[in-house]
Structure 1
Amino acid sequence: MKSVPFDEAETYEPEAGWRRVSMAGSDRFSFEWFEKPPDHSSPLHDHENEQVCLCLDGELTVVTDDESVTLGPNDSVYLEPNEPHRVENTGDERAVGLDVFAPGRSFDFWTDREE
């Protein structure tokens, strides 16, 4: 068993107010808790990992080339590998979510990314 206390987990803040926290996981899957300020959007991106995005608090809109869906607390969406997407906080309050990736990944996806 490997415990990862939230306050001791690896954290990455790509932009002010957009914070990601690496939770327990492995090479086969990983969990990233995240928060986004109002009106924030991640850049359009894709990755080899399958992804499930779960909204924990607030409102998140997930946009792909073909459609968009707005998630409220406890709603989720599945994204195929290599499916271009972005995640936006379309609400007036901070939004909190949990991303699950298979296979697992590290923050290198963001830090080593070319624009």
Structure 2
Amino acid sequence: MKATTIENAETYEPEEGWQRKSLAESDRFSFEWFEKPPGHSSPMHDHENEQVCIVLKGELTIYTEDDEVTLMEHDAAQLESWEEHRVENTGDELAIGLDVFAPGRSFDFWTDRE
């Protein structure tokens, strides 16, 4: 077994205030805890991994080329491989979420982007 505490998880900030922590990672899956301040949005992007985004606290809106959905605490959305999307905190408080990727992706996805 491999256990990771939130305090000891590998952490980085792709942008100021947008923090990500790697809770578990393998070739088959990865789990990334994240927080986004109000108004923050990731850029439009895609990746080979399927993704499930779970809102743990606050409000997140996920935008795709054809759709948008606002998720509240304990809601989730599934994104297919290569589905272009962005995630924005459209609420008034810090949003906290959990991203699950299959297959697992490298934790440096955002830091190695141009």
**How many residue pairs are counted as aligned between the two chains?**
114
Residue 107 of structure 1 and its aligned partner are, at CA, apart by 2.2
The structure with the largest helix share of the pair is: 1
Question: C-alpha separation between the residues in 2 aligned to 1:113 and 1:13?
Answer: 13
> Quick one: distance in 2 between partners of 1:28 and 1:80?
15
Aligned to 1:6: 6
Q: CA RMSD in A?
A: 0.7
Long gaps (5+) in structure 2? none
Under a length normalisation based on structure 2, what TM-score does the superposition of the two structures give?
A: 0.97
1:21 counterpart letter in structure 2: K
> Which residue of the partner structure matches residue 41 of structure 1?
41
CA distance in 2: counterparts of 1:108 and 1:5, whole angstroms: 19
Kindly state the Cα deviation for residue 89 of structure 1 after the two structures are TM-superposed. Answer: 0.1
Q: Percent sequence identity over matched residues?
A: 72
Q: Cα distance, 1:110 vs. partner?
A: 1.0
Where does residue 59 of structure 1 map in the other structure?
A: 59
User: Scaled by the length of structure 1, what TM-score is found?
Assistant: 0.96
Point out where structure 1 has 5 or more consecutive residues left out of the alignment.
none
Q: Secondary structure at the match of 1:12?
A: strand
